């Protein structure tokens, strides 16, 4: 009898999908079930917002003419937002409308975070579904939705998938993993805070427990690959574009708000939004007992997970603690280190609102509570004495009570506290009168955040820019204690001084160099304080209603003004007060040029968001109504900043095109950011090429070869050496890490 070599059977880690061998059908099914649970919760939250109207929150507003902000092109120092998320949101807005987009983005958080936390928790339904439900229904989510931090919440949801893929990559023990890099890049593309939150999460998964050289190298590769998403930021720095000014006072203003139990108790219970008891802050009715139950269940679950699955349990337990410590910010035990990082680390200013670190604690809590519920359910189902099962059943009821306490503050439009808003008819009438065009609308009162009657007197971001068809100039001053504004815009500072001076007697002529054609006043709370508008000789009222007033600026101040005066803001005010200011450019430190006062204007038209065309005409100064920057270029013609913070060009007789040159580099940076996401997706496909091969072509047919008898030896018959080597070699698609994916 002879022995023949046979093909070794592949080592299976469990049942696999018929067409996707790398996917565990049971795990995928449970993850899909958790996502469906998130869909149900999300639908319960946004259901009242699907009605006709627009969702207006503190930092999340919508309107019928919402468009990409000038920050996309680097033209707005207070809103540099050229990230893929902004473009995707705008594309969605174009398809389904601004009203639907405002709640669809919020809805997306729930299935994404539910499925991500489910994949991170692993295990069965009794662990996954409670974890997914907690990630959807907790005080942190309630606070952030009411604050309108929609992009931030969406990035947190993507971080749950980052954690899940990072844990899986460590168990598979490969040098590089495309999935964590892809999720990290997507999270950063949605919100800049994810760069720091995700970095700390990756560090925890890498270092705990007992890192090896391969783990450190894998983390470095993941961070480097995902970091390419911020190619746009590199273009910003190289172009020297002004961004917002953030200083040490911001840390005080945006420090977490301590509740009745103190700062530590507030953060541990996943609360502490800096606005505290302001009118737009959520009131989550989470008492001491539900908060204690939540924390105890999370701690017990994480401790159990650390013992049974340290690859996931150890980093999650560390993140739960780190989230609270960093969430305390400058008022916590790491306050000194936090201030130092704020001053030293590049881009750490994004974490000026310190309580956002609690997002890491929330994700860790979700998994811990899921593990605790699974353990308690196991005790209740076991054959132990009734005396042991009753406390477990009571604990399950107590954990369910946490969900029951938080849910009323979340579902049905945050407990009915936030409804969609309908803009007054006067706003539509004003938009019809003003029409469309490139000349701007100046919106008053001059506040970035203010309450309106149609929002139920809730404070929201001024929504004029999302409503009117014309470009809108509105305040970007946060007005928080010592921090009046973070803006470095010269135009905004100019208007702020004019408003504080009550128009200075010639408001229309003074704002004309900004390209302002209309001034709109919301007559709600500060009507008397803006009574000086009616006394301005260069403003003509074209609409007056009980809640809105519209004035047309009669003066002109842009285009080929030809003449120029030397002087600054104070000089312009003096000239305007005595009627000696025309349409000429006022140039700080510049020389005068006749005629003075000038009556010329016009001769310019916008070609695109970053270019203007100056038609041929009399040589002299041309005022372009754009934020001053050295990036504006008109060929070899000199450019200067005006007293109003706009662009002045010393043009000749011939026509000239004025372009914003940094947009060329910003466009390349944005394209590189989008390309990096595409490359990471492709890398993920290559990483799992065998799985895709099986999915597309099916299992390759086995070719039967004739068996040859083996030679015998003196000590007996044995298989040839090459057959033994083939048995030791893993078959294609086999996980080297063993049955549970761990080495």
pLDDT tens across 632-669, in order? 999 889 999 999 999 999 999 999 999 998 888 888 87
Beta strands 585-587; 564-566: pairing state: parallel
Whether pLDDT at 80 is above 80: no
Enter the tokens of residue 70. 């000038």
| 54: in domain | yes
SS3 state at 272: coil
- Helix 125-136 with 25-46: angle, nearest 10 deg: 30
Q: Which of 68-82, 313-327, 385-399, 405-419 has the lowest mean pLDDT?
A: 68-82
Residues 6+ positions from 459 with CB-CB distance below 8 Å? 58, 278, 279, 280, 449, 450, 451
Share of the chain above pLDDT 90, in %: 64
Band the pLDDT of 71: cuts 50, 70, 90: low
pLDDT of the residue at 48? 96
| 678: in domain | yes
Do 521 and 399 belong together in one domain?
Answer: no
CA distance 360 to 350: 16
Domain boundary among 375, 396, 415: 415
Do 272 and 299 belong together in one domain?
Answer: yes
Q: Which of 115-124, 334-343, 346-355, 515-524 has the lowest mean pLDDT?
A: 346-355
pLDDT of the residue at 26? 86
Do 685 and 696 belong together in one domain?
Answer: yes
DSSP class of residue 644? T
Do 642 and 689 belong together in one domain?
Answer: no
pLDDT of the residue at 83? 61
Residues 6+ positions from 433 with CB-CB distance below 8 Å? 542, 543, 550
pLDDT of the residue at 721? 45
pLDDT of the residue at 124? 94
Residue 448 structural domain: 425-553
Residues 6+ positions from 371 with CB-CB distance below 8 Å? 121, 123, 127, 131, 301, 302, 304, 305
Do 220 and 278 belong together in one domain?
Answer: yes
Q: Say how many domains are in the chain.
A: 4
CA distance 20 to 168: 17
| 639: in domain | yes
DSSP class of residue 657? E
pTM, whole model, 2 decimals?
0.88
Residue pair 313/307 in contact (Cβ under 8 Å)? The answer is yes
| 737: in domain | no
Do 109 and 171 belong together in one domain?
Answer: yes
- Alpha-carbon distance values, 182 to 177, 202, 225, 675, 690 (Å): 9, 13, 8, 12, 19
> Average pLDDT of 232-257?
78
pLDDT of the residue at 280? 64
Band the pLDDT of 740: cuts 50, 70, 90: very low
Whether pLDDT at 350 is above 80: yes
| 249: in domain | no
CA distance 443 to 465: 9
**Residue linked to tokens 């934020």:** 627
CA distance 659 to 211: 52
Do 327 and 471 belong together in one domain?
Answer: no
**Residue linked to tokens 């979700």:** 366
Do 367 and 451 belong together in one domain?
Answer: no
More confident site: 4 or 328? 328
Domain boundary among 391, 415, 439: 415
Band the pLDDT of 23: cuts 50, 70, 90: low
Enter the tokens of residue 35. 């996502």
Do 300 and 436 belong together in one domain?
Answer: no
Residue pair 205/173 in contact (Cβ under 8 Å)? The answer is no
| 9: in domain | no
Do 544 and 531 belong together in one domain?
Answer: yes
**Residue linked to tokens 């000749």:** 652
Do 565 and 548 belong together in one domain?
Answer: no
Do 217 and 271 belong together in one domain?
Answer: yes
| 735: in domain | no
Residue pair 229/189 in contact (Cβ under 8 Å)? The answer is yes
**Residue linked to tokens 């006394």:** 535
Domain boundary among 392, 415, 438: 415
Count CA atoms closer than 13 A to 58's CA, side-chain side. Answer: 17
Residue pair 148/54 in contact (Cβ under 8 Å)? The answer is no
| 312: in domain | yes
pLDDT of the residue at 695? 43
């Amino acid at each position: 009898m002879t022995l023949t070599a046979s093909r070794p059977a592949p080592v299976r880690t469990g049942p696999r999908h018929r067409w996707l061998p790398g996917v565990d059908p049971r795990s995928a099914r449970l993850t899909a079930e958790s996502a469906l649970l998130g869909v149900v919760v999300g639908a319960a939250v946004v259901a009242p917002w699907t009605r006709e109207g627009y969702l207006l929150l503190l930092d999340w507003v919508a309107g019928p003419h919402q468009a990409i902000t000038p920050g996309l092109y680097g033209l707005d120092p207070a809103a540099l937002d050229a990230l893929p998320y902004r473009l995707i949101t705008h594309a969605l807005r174009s398809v389904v409308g601004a009203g639907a987009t405002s709640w669809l983005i919020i809805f997306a958080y729930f299935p994404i975070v539910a499925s991500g936390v489910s994949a991170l928790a692993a295990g069965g339904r009794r662990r996954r579904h409670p974890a997914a439900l907690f990630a959807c229904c907790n005080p942190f989510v309630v606070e952030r939705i009411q604050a309108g931090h929609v992009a931030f919440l969406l990035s947190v949801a993507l971080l749950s998938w980052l954690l899940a893929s990072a844990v899986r990559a460590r168990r598979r023990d490969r040098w590089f993993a495309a999935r964590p890099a892809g999720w990290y890049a997507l999270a950063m593309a949605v919100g800049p805070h994810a760069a720091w939150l995700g970095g700390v999460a990756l560090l925890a998964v890498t270092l705990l427990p007992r890192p090896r050289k391969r783990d450190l190298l894998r983390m470095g590769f993941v961070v480097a690959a995902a970091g390419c998403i911020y190619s746009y930021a590199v273009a910003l720095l190289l172009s020297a574009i002004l961004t917002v000014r953030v200083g040490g006072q911001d840390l005080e203003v945006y420090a977490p708000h301590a509740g009745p139990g103190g700062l530590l108790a507030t953060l541990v219970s996943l609360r502490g939004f800096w606005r505290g008891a302001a009118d737009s802050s959520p009131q989550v009715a989470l008492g001491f007992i539900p908060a204690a139950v939540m924390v105890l269940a999370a701690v017990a679950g994480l401790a159990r997970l650390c013992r049974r699955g340290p690859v996931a349990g150890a980093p999650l337990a560390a993140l739960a603690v780190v989230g609270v410590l960093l969430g305390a910010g400058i008022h916590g035990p790491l306050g000194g280190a936090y201030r130092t990082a704020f001053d030293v680390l590049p881009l750490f200013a994004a974490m000026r609102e310190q309580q956002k670190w609690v997002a890491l604690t929330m994700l860790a809590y979700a998994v811990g509570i899921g593990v605790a519920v699974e353990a308690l359910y196991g005790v209740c189902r076991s054959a132990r004495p009734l005396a042991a099962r009753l406390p477990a059943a009571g604990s399950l009821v107590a954990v369910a009570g946490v969900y029951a306490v938080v849910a009323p503050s979340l579902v049905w439009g945050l407990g009915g506290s936030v409804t969609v808003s309908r803009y007054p008819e006067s706003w539509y009438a004003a938009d019809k009168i003003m029409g469309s065009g490139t000349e701007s609308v100046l919106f008053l009162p001059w506040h970035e955040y203010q309450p309106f009657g149609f929002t139920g007197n809730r404070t929201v971001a001024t929504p004029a820019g999302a409503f009117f068809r014309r470009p809108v100039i509105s305040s970007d001053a946060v007005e928080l204690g010592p921090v009046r504004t973070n803006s470095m815009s010269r135009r905004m500072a100019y208007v702020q001084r004019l408003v504080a001076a009550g128009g200075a007697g010639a408001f229309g002529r003074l704002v004309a160099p900004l390209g302002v054609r209309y001034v709109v006043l919301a007559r709600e709370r500060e009507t008397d304080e803006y009574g000086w508008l009616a006394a301005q000789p260069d403003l003509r009222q074209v609409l007056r209603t009980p809640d809105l007033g519209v004035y047309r600026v009669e003066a002109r101040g842009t285009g080929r003004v030809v003449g120029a005066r030397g002087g600054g803001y104070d000089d312009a005010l003096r000239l305007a007060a005595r009627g000696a200011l025309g349409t000429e450019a006022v140039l700080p430190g510049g020389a005068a040029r006749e005629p003075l006062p000038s009556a010329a204007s016009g001769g310019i038209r916008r070609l695109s968001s970053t270019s203007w065309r100056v038609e041929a005409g009399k040589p002299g100064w041309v005022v372009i109504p754009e934020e001053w920057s050295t990036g504006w270029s008109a060929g070899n013609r000199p450019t200067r900043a005006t007293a109003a913070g706009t662009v002045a060009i010393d043009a000749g007789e011939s026509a000239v095109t004025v372009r914003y040159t940094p947009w060329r580099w910003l466009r390349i940076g944005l394209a590189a950011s989008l390309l990096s996401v595409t490359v990471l997706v492709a890398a993920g496909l290559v990483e799992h090429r065998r799985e895709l091969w099986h999915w597309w072509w099916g299992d390759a047919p086995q070719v039967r070869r004739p068996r040859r008898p083996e030679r015998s030896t003196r000590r007996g018959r044995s298989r040839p050496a090459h057959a033994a080597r083939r048995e030791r070699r893993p078959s294609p698609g086999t996980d080297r890490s063993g049955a549970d994916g761990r080495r």
